[in-house]
Amino acid sequence: MKTQIRLALVAGTTLLAAGCQTTLKDFPDTAKVLERSDYLARKPLGGLSDYQEAAQRRVKELLAKPLTVGAAIEIAMLNTPKLQQHYQAAQIWDEDLVAEMTEAAKLESDPTRTAMDWAAARLALMKSVNTTRPREFPEAYLGVAEEFIDTGEEVRKAYFEAVAAHQVQAMLEQAATATQAAAELANAQYAAGTANRRSQALQQMSHAEVVKSLAEAKLDAIATREALNRLLVLWGDDANWTAPEQLPDLPEQRPDFSGLEEQALERRFDALEERNGWASWHTAVDVRSEVRENSAALLTRYDLAKYQKETVLPLSQTILGETQLEYNGMLLGIYDLIADTQGQIEAGREYVEALRDYWIAEAELTQAFGGTLPKN
């Protein structure tokens, strides 16, 4: 059993450091945890200003550029109150911890699969106790690390929601400009007697529908931004961060995660905490089921986004191109051209939403898996 525990922990904790090799000896043993706890009980908590000032400087540095998912997770690791409580309790609430997180962030190589939450968890655990006599990773620490991972997954999903909402808003603003031009042209033609009342009303109705959709999109952009602000504990000028213009691109290759269920059993904290009898068997069933369900969702979202990108978007572009040619040849009218332009914008909007759903599905699979997904 001890060998099994050791293998599971070694496999799981290799993900705790971005770019760093980790073994069981890196983690605190039970005796040292008790020794450290007794020490902390006798030592009053130090000043908080050093950490706060260093964290605020780092947050402003990250917010000076369009917000990436990695930057969002790093900010959450610095600002989230429940994580700060662990830093305070372990007496590591200082500028050195902020500096080490900053260095860990520099090791991030994949902007869509950032592991800053795992890196922060490892730093918090490693700095919290003396590890000169490693024996066995205490189960109590699994719950601490799990809070870091849960926070990271919440931030990932909120981030992709927010970026997608801003991107959809920008698309609908373009559509509103096009429909407004069509409505104004219809008004002019009706006044000149070259268009009937029905044609004028149709263009007005088309513009009205886009205006309503744009209003909903703006509200959605605000709501998703504020949801992320709450997770990152941002306020004042910091809450006015710049969103990227678009979501990360869809991976070129379809994900293929063979053996994911077995690996999840070696990484999920709930599976590590319950290793005997009925509880262990029931947890294993749940873990396997969740991984299968989320894997299916990820693949479906990938296929839908890829179909929208490679089939629907090119078709809408072809339609618009042909309409442009026929309009230039005076075979179609301006309303046909505007309608097909709107169609292309709508196809783009649907792709953004499909892409958003893919990245959210990957974040959910990452959570179900218990760590950064293996590369294809």
Structure tokens of 180? 């407004």
Q: Quickly state the pLDDT bin for 273 (edges 50, 70, 90).
A: low
Q: Quickly state the pLDDT bin for 40 (edges 50, 70, 90).
A: low
Does 193 score more than 80 pLDDT? yes
Q: Which of the residue ranges 26-40, 135-149, 198-212 would you say has the lowest mean pLDDT?
A: 26-40
Quick one: which of 218, 76, 111, 155 has its CA closest to 360?
155
Does 87 score more than 50 pLDDT? yes
Q: Which of the residue ranges 101-115, 178-192, 325-339 would you say has the lowest mean pLDDT?
A: 325-339
Does 131 score more than 80 pLDDT? no
Percent of the chain with pLDDT over 70: 80
Determine the average pLDDT of the residues in 121-147.
64
Please, what is the average pLDDT of the chain? Answer: 81
**Rounded-to-integer distance, Cα 264 and Cα 284, Å:** 9
Q: Is 131 exposed, middle or buried (0-12, 13-18, 19+ CB in 10 A)?
A: middle
pLDDT at 279 (0 to 100): 64
Greater confidence (154 vs 134) lies with: 154
DSSP assignment string, 109-128: --TTS--HHHHHHHHHHHHH
Does 23 score more than 60 pLDDT? no
pLDDT at 17 (0 to 100): 34
pLDDT tens-place string over residues 154-184 = 999 999 999 999 999 999 998 899 889 888 9
pLDDT tens-place string over residues 295-329 = 999 999 999 999 999 999 999 889 888 887 886 77
Contact assessment for residue 340 and residue 315, using Cβ atoms and an 8 Å cutoff: no
pLDDT tens-place string over residues 119-130 = 888 888 777 654
pLDDT at 25 (0 to 100): 44
Structure tokens of 77? 């690791």
Does 49 score more than 70 pLDDT? yes
**Rounded-to-integer distance, Cα 127 and Cα 124, Å:** 5
**Rounded-to-integer distance, Cα 269 and Cα 154, Å:** 17
pLDDT tens-place string over residues 238-272 = 999 999 999 999 998 998 888 888 888 877 766 66
pTM over 0.85: no
pLDDT at 126 (0 to 100): 75
316 CB-side CA count, 13 A:
21
pLDDT tens-place string over residues 89-100 = 777 888 889 999
pLDDT at 261 (0 to 100): 86
Helices (H), 196-333: 197-232, 260-265, 269-273, 277-307, 313-328
Contact assessment for residue 264 and residue 374, using Cβ atoms and an 8 Å cutoff: no
